[in-house]
Amino acid sequence: MEKTSHISNQFDHDLESIRSNVLLMGGLVEVNVKNAIKSLLERDQALAEEVSTADFQVNKMEIEIDEECTQIIARRQPAAGDLRLVLTVVKVITDLERIGDEAEKIGRYAQTLASKKAKTGMHLELDTLAQKVTSMLNKTLDAFARMDAVQALEVVALDIRIDEEFDRISRLLVSHMMEEPKNIKSMLRVSWCARSLERIGDHAQNICEYVIYSVHGEDVRHTDIDKVRKEYLDNKG
């Protein structure tokens, strides 16, 4: 009996360990995203270089957590909710790593814009989009930390607003490229930054969908999220 209890306690510890490590990785990614945005808006070349360096640590953490999950599956053979949690972690760290990649891209574009002293101020148009993305990412990590499916559903809906803001910026950039052809290269870099921010929103949405899967065992990818939210809230009520 004691041996069974010890194994159970160790298993719980292993599961808590991977959750904690995901949150550490998420915190690092969130800082990188904020620093990348700040380096872009303020044309801070030194900060942009820091983002590129920090991405190495994000990649390292992904590999380490993935190995932890592999060991848990091999040794513990989890089932039901425990297995869903482990599978969720494997998927979440993949999206976190890709968010880190997008932050690193923004950092690289920020370095180029700063070094070339581009005259266009169009990068400032990204401020609203950046605020929406950082807010969504923060709420996503909070939903994962608390395994809150209700919040995850609400966060998924935010991606529509990010897509709308991205479309607005894209139209604006095209218009300015036509008016100021000499600044096309700089505006293209701003466009690439906007695309990276939009993709961060997409990855945050993915993470929230994995949270819903972990909590309820329901795969809501490629479904009408408004319908899913209504059904869930109706059932809860």
Judge contact between 30 and 138, C-beta under 8 A.
Answer: yes
Q: Provide mean pLDDT across the span 226-234.
A: 62
* Range in 18-27, 79-88, 201-210 the model is least confident about: 79-88
**Does the pTM exceed 0.75?**
yes
The CA–CA distances, whole Å, from 187 to 62, 128, 172, 180 equal: 33, 17, 10, 10
How does pLDDT run across 106-136, given as a tens digit for each residue?
A: 999 888 877 766 555 667 788 999 999 999 9
Going by C-beta distance under 8 Å and a sequence separation of 6 or more, which residues neighbour residue 5?
none
Domain that holds residue 130: 2-236
Judge contact between 15 and 88, C-beta under 8 A.
Answer: no
- What's residue 176's pLDDT? 85
Q: Provide mean pLDDT across the span 143-162.
A: 93
Give the count of domains, the chain: 1
At 184, which CATH number? 1.20.58.220
